[in-house]
Structure 1
């Protein structure tokens, strides 16, 4: 079989480290679930179906070193999230079978241009301009589910040693099984896909030089410094 000839050499796939292994996990698509924790402004709202948007895999980076301060924003904010790594593809996955499709978990930051997002919401526009930029999704090494099980602890985030976000994974409005099932009803999931599962209250501004430390019990921790404004 002849190999295809490309117009230019394609990039290598984006990958994440696997905890305790020399292997790396090849990243496919990145689905991001919105409004999956109760925030003060959502108290009392009915349980509505989860919404999701996407980041390209090129936003994913190892959660080490520096967080570049993105362009075209004055309100750069942090969001700590549980990340689901899908190990087997499928469509219309029943909730009771969904956990079998999980390969592992990571801790990730859904970094956001909040001012850009606010304007998009006001005008009924997509969120991608707020969510997609270089380094917008730092993630820890993926922990195989065979090692971690399905996490039940807390996720948290500190900036310069001061706690800003903390909540229990049990507070998620939509469970891991429900999110996998719902997304697979809209689009067939593939091995390598990641699902960022939403962030608890406490999202706030980041400034150049800030040190972010964050983690999820039983999954992983990260520490990164925010770079200078471009």
Structure 2
């Protein structure tokens, strides 16, 4: 199909930089896991695959300099997460082969309008309004797995204005990356370019305009972004 066959101009491809390269990684879809670390209220819960939700590819932005304070919320919260970049698609992927489908890793923030999320939970409604807004997925450059392998250990943390809010380790994930890739591929066909945000540890608290977020994952990436002012509209 040539450009003139479209009734409107197609949107630009969302993409992220590749660490140490001039190339970029095109983003297809963004899958996000719910609880994949033990929080205080779930220590005794049985091990079951967490729910997942989606953000549009257009929600992905480079984690540099600034993140806008979104509309319709008083509880704007950051969540540090390991981001898995899929390089080879597939369906019903065996766990033993799942890491062969991973192109690389990054650190990302699942930005959340937490007051909307809590209201949706209470009403048994979907979370999209809380999760799928503009620029709600700041992500660092993707580091190829060919260079760093497939990290299964390493600290992840998030601090605001120098005060630590979240800290855990990749080995504390309830479901490993291989298990997550395999389980997701049983629900749908994963495609090259998909990102998987693998869940966040406890310590999620609201931000204020001007706050400085510092976060990272040991051996993968660090990020620092400042929160913009509240919108006037």
Report the counterpart of residue 13 of structure 2 in structure 1: 13
1:62-96 CA-to-partner distances (Å, cap 9, x unmatched) read 00011100100011111000000000010000101
CA distance in structure 2 between the aligned counterparts of 1:167 and 1:12, rounded to whole angstroms: 36
Report the counterpart of residue 34 of structure 2 in structure 1: 34
Report the counterpart of residue 198 of structure 1 in structure 2: 199
Report the counterpart of residue 48 of structure 1 in structure 2: 48
Q: Could you tell me whether the CA contact under 8 Å between 1:60 and 1:135 is conserved in 2?
A: yes
How far did residue 2 of structure 1 move?
6.1
After TM superposition, the structure 1 = structure 2 runs for residues 54-203 of structure 1, keeping only pairs within 5 Å, are: 54-151=54-151, 152-203=153-204
1:181-211 CA-to-partner distances (Å, cap 9, x unmatched) read 1110011000000000000011111000000
Q: Could you tell me whether the CA contact under 8 Å between 1:107 and 1:216 is conserved in 2?
A: yes
Q: Return the TM-score normalized by structure 2.
A: 0.97
The 4+ residue runs of structure 1 with deviation greater than 3 A are: 1-4
SS of 1:179 mapped into structure 2? helix
How far did residue 8 of structure 1 move?
1.3
Q: Could you tell me whether the CA contact under 8 Å between 1:68 and 1:227 is conserved in 2?
A: yes
CA distance in structure 1 between the aligned counterparts of 2:24 and 2:150, rounded to whole angstroms: 20
CA distance in structure 2 between the aligned counterparts of 1:26 and 1:76, rounded to whole angstroms: 27
Residue 175 to residue 27, structure 1, CA distance change in 2 (3 Å): same
Residue 21 to residue 124, structure 1, CA distance change in 2 (3 Å): same
SS of 2:90 mapped into structure 1? coil
How far did residue 122 of structure 1 move?
0.5
Unpaired stretches in structure 2, ≥5 consecutive residues: none
How far did residue 4 of structure 1 move?
5.9
